[in-house]
Structure formats: C-alpha cells, structure tokens
Chains A and B, each alone.
Chain A
Amino acid sequence: MIELDGVWRTFRVGESDVQALKGISLAFQAGEHAALIGPSGSGKSTLLHILGCLDRPTRGLYRFEGRDVGSLTEAERCRLRQNRIGFVFQFFHLLGRLTALGNVELPMLFAGVPRNERRSRAMKILEAVGLAPRAGHRPDQLSGGERQRVAIARAMVMAPSLLLADEPTGNLDRKAAAGVMELLEDMNRKGLTLVVVTHDPAIAQRAARVIRMDDGQIGGEPA
C-alpha cells in the first residue's frame, strides 16, 4: 500500500543543509500496525509528514496506493489528505471555539459534505469513540483523553485508509493513554493502516512492527 524508495529529505538551515532523512526505503501493508521510534531529531516526524503528504521528499520515490506522490499536484495531495489519510497529533489541535461536534465536522466542511450529512456522520463517529454525550462541549470542557478521542473521531470521519499518529499519548496520563491506544488498535483491527510515532517503549510494544530510526536512517528493525 505504501512504498518508500531511497527517500531523502533535506532542510536548509541557515547556510548549511541538514539531512533529516537519508535514503529511507520502507513498505507498509494495508491494515498494518507499525510504531516509529527513535530519539528526537532522528527524523521520525519528518517521515510521518512525508507519509501524510504534508511534505515531499527532496529525493527518492514515495508511492501511496500505487500513485507517485512526488508527481502529484498540490490539489491532488490535498485530496489524498482529505479522503485517504487521517492525522492525530500530540497536542490534539482541536479548535477551541468549536464544539467537539464542530471539530469532527471540520474535514467534511472542506470536502463539501452537506450540512445535515455532516452532522449525522460526526455524531455517528463520536458515538463510536464513546463521546456522543460530550458532542456539545468545547475542548476546554473535556479531559485530555476525551480531547484525543475527539481528534481521532475527526481523523476518522472521512474514512481514511491510513491513520498517522504523532505521539498520540504524549500528553495523556497512563490510563487515558491506554484508552486512546485501545481505540486506535480497534480501528486497526477493522482494516485501518496505523502508523504511530512514539517515544514510549510501552506504546511501541503494542505494535506488530517496530521501526527504529536513528539519524535519518532506519536502524534495527526486529522482524
């Protein structure tokens, strides 16, 4: 489903070039659950952004569902993000002025889904993450775990094939973290491809596949 072949990503910092990714070659199967671990600055977030079509490789090939992402236009990559890829962030990135329901509706707003359908789909997915009773609450009225559930609902509302989670439990206590991971794994079991970036070995352990990154390269990948 996903193929990376010799992917480099170079950032220009001041006068010098910094290589965040150095020739990554990697493949993910549909429905896989993988964890990306490694020290900070090892390039795991950069890799995640490239996987999410938010960033493009400086060099090398990235194929998503058979399409060469590097050759797609900005609009086509937007469509991929809109329909095929969901994001979950460490800091939730919920809009504080919108209710939980409003936040979940947001991707559908850009996709041009009619208002009534937006509402019913958002409600359905909030139910699925167990937050239907909190639909009318604003993020500051929700606990950390609840916020991340809203964010997951938002990521899933367009029914993507790939969910990218960047430290999804980094801001949660142990109990809330376990709940969030269970939710993600449940969706994975239903066929969603899940890639989780994490610092936490306990979270990484839960994945079927752990990819260790170091200095822009893939280190030991236990089979």
Chain B
Amino acid sequence: MKASDLALFAGTALSGHRVRTALSLSGVAVGIAAVIALTALGQGAREYVVREFTAMGSHVLIVFPGKVETTGGGPIGGAPRDLTLEDFRAVVSRTPGIVAAAPLASGEETLRYGARNRAALILGTTAEFRQVRRVKMGAGSFLPRRDARQAGSEIVLGAKLARELFGPESPLGKVVRMGTWRFRVVGVMAPRGRAMGIDVDDVALAPIQTVMAAFNRTSLFRVFIEVRDKRLLPEVKERVTEMFRERHRAEDVTVITQDAMLSAFSDILNALTLALAGIASISLAVAGVGIMNVMLISVTERRSEIGLLKALGGTDRQVLLVFLAESGLLALMGGLAGLAVGLAAVALFTGLYPSFPASAPLWAVAASILLSLSVGIGFGLWPAWRATKLDPVRALTGR
C-alpha cells in the first residue's frame, strides 16, 4: 500500500466526521501555536538582549567592586574595599590598549526646575562615557573633557526626563537644582529606551567628582573600559585585575567582559526559550490523549470495517498503517493549523511592538511539524494496535 493511498484513505475516514476531526485537530493546533509563539518570544528576548549589548560596543570590560565567588562561600573579611576614583585613574593611565574608560557612580535624587520637580537616577561619570556607552545626543553637548577629580556643574538629561522637567521649553543653558546643588543643562540625550535594566531616557549625567560629593560616595559603582581590539580583551583584563590586586592587596574587584555577560544572558534566555517550549508541549501531550480518545472511538465504531478490511486481504500491518495514517494525518493537519495560528500571532505581536524582534526560530517550525506528527503516531499506536487485534469474524458479525 503506497503512502499516498494510505493518506487518501485516511482522509476519507476523517472527512466522514468533520466536527470530531476539527475538535481533536484544534487540540494539537493550540499546542503547536503555543510552542511557536512562546519560542518566538523567547528567541526575540535573546535577540533583543544581544542587540542591546552589541549596540554598546562589544569589546568592553566592566569592573565592579566585590569579588564574585565562583567556588562558593561569601567574601571573607566583610565589605570589599572601595573602588576609588584614584584606583580608576591609576589603573587606566598605566594600562596599554585602552581606547576610553569611564567611571560611574550613582544616586537617586529629586531634580527641580522652577515649580517642577522629578526624582531621577543621577549618574556621575566623565566625558569618555559617551564613547564607551555609545551615547547619542539629541541636543547640545555631552559633559566636557576634564580631569575626573575636578568638580563641575554641567548636567546632561535623558530625553524623557528633559521633556517632563521642561515641557516644550528648551532645557539648554537652564539651571536645575538637586538639593543645594545647582547644575547647568548642557545637553539632552537622544531617546534610546531601556538598556541593561536602566531606562536611559530617565537619567541625568553629571561630573563624577560632583556626584560622589553630593551623594557622599567613596566608591565607584562601575568602571567601563573600552579596549582597542577585541583580541586585547584577555590581556587587558589580566592586567587590570593584577593592578587592582596590587593596589588593594587582595582580589576584591570583579572584571568581566561584555562578551561574557552577553553569553551568560544568551544562555539563560536560550534555556528560558526551551523551558517555554517544554511547557507548551505539555498541552501537546493533552492533545495527544484527545487524539487517542478519538481514535479509540473510531476503532470501536468501525469494527465491521476493520473486519471487512481483513476479509478483503488486508494484513495486520496494513490495518495498523490505516489507523496510524489517520491519527498521523489528524495531528499533522492540527500541527499545520497551529503553525499558521502561531506565526500569525507572532506577526501580530511584532506589528504591535516593532522594536521587539520576535520571530519563530526555524528549529521550532521544523520541530512543531515533527512533534505533531509524532504525537499523532505515538498516541495513535495503541488504538491502531487494538484494531489489528480484532478477530475479523467477530468484527464482521458484530458479536
């Protein structure tokens, strides 16, 4: 019996029970649509993160105070030593291969302009921050170049913050107040959205020395170091770590490459995608049980047909194939319908949120077809096997 003949014969059997076929088919369709939609979202999240990271420059080292223990147990001797501005200057000035480096300190405070005030995240940094973090300006200029230890009264506002403090007014040259401190707005950043968990549009940047004084900080929050060439990353990382060890007489800072963070995030999101796909496939198992149920009913109803097929010379194997083809076809049609629904849902989603690159990965599309087929065949096996076990005489005479 040829596969096309089997499929045709199964098709006629399925079209005889349209409602039943449609219902059990939709079970598979829902499962497959869920797999497609969820993996598309998971994959989209991964791609989004990757894109964000690459936008910020891929050969960047990030230093932060405290040692991340990978061998278990907490840091010994309490709080780590401060990561000071002096450390930053010393390390950066004596490490070759660095294009730009920027320290970062932060605090939250209310900014005031006239009668309006607004709480914002204030980041203290230097002019190099623009290069290291690929900041784009909407208006005015970035923080001026000067020695990191020198205070200054310039401030650069995020797009959203500027809009909410100043409304339609141009903020350039205006003075905003933060407690007793006064800053002059020199620039507004171009809108960018969230990056690395911070809404960049909602922050203000000011000279590092002034921010540390205003918030009474002794330690930097981060140091960003951009390396000239990606291949220099391990070397520079080694050198920076070594210099901090010498200065602090202990290994109490953590230096990571952006690549390492990226691949960690990527791994997490891949795992998340797989987990989502796994959860979605649970619904496929449910759909499979539905198919099994329908096929069992079908075998019971068609006892005399099975007897007839055997009387006409159909072998057990052929009878098995007839019913497997039926459940397989049922599930496959469900799978294709689910694929269509899933892809449509993803298209709708990306239509609503164009910045989120959700798209069903090819492996998920391929897997969903294979998965639905194997659900149909897997769950159809037992009913089909029962059909072959029917005694043709009893099946024909209805006994």
Interface residues of A (CB under 8 A from B): 45, 49, 52, 54-55, 74-75, 78-83, 87, 89, 91, 93, 95-98, 102, 106-107, 109-112, 115, 154, 158
Q: Does B213 contact A (CB under 8 A)?
A: no
Please state if A74 and B15 are interface contacts (CB–CB under 8 Å): no
Chain B contacts for A89, CB-based, 8 A: 396
Please state if B397 and A45 are interface contacts (CB–CB under 8 Å): yes
The chain A residue with its CB closest to the CB of B311 is A87
Please state if A154 and B311 are interface contacts (CB–CB under 8 Å): no
What are 17 A-to-B residue pairs whose CB atoms are below 8 Å?
A52-B311, A54-B311, A54-B396, A74-B315, A75-B315, A78-B315, A79-B313, A80-B313, A81-B310, A82-B313, A95-B308, A97-B13, A97-B15, A107-B312, A109-B5, A109-B9, A111-B313
Please state if A107 and B396 are interface contacts (CB–CB under 8 Å): no
- Complex: how many Å from CA A48 to CA B51? 77
Please state if A54 and B393 are interface contacts (CB–CB under 8 Å): yes
Q: Given contacts A81-B311, A83-B313, list 17 more A-B pairs with CB under 8 A.
A: A45-B397, A54-B310, A54-B393, A78-B310, A78-B315, A87-B311, A91-B304, A93-B304, A95-B305, A96-B16, A98-B12, A106-B309, A106-B312, A107-B312, A110-B309, A110-B314, A112-B1
Chief secondary structure at chain A's binding surface: helix
B: interface residue count bin: 20 to 34
Please state if A110 and B313 are interface contacts (CB–CB under 8 Å): yes
Q: Which of B16, B308, B318 contacts A97 (CB 8 A)?
A: B16
Please state if B313 and A158 are interface contacts (CB–CB under 8 Å): yes
Please state if A54 and B314 are interface contacts (CB–CB under 8 Å): no
Please state if A81 and B12 are interface contacts (CB–CB under 8 Å): no
Q: Which of A82, A96, A97, A98 contacts B312 (CB 8 A)?
A: A82
Question: What 3 A-B pairs have minimum CB-CB distances, sorted nearest first?
Answer: A82-B313, A81-B313, A97-B16
Q: Does B231 contact A (CB under 8 A)?
A: no
The chain A residue with its CB closest to the CB of B302 is A95
List B residues 307-352 near A (Cβ within 8 Å).
Answer: 307-316, 318
- Complex: how many Å from CA A112 to CA B314? 11
- Complex: how many Å from CA A111 to CA B313? 8
Chain B contacts for A93, CB-based, 8 A: 304-305, 307-308, 396
Central interface residue in A75, A95, A107, A158, by most chain B CB within 10 Å: A95
- Complex: how many Å from CA A87 to CA B2? 24
- Complex: how many Å from CA A158 to CA B305? 19
The chain A residue with its CB closest to the CB of B2 is A112
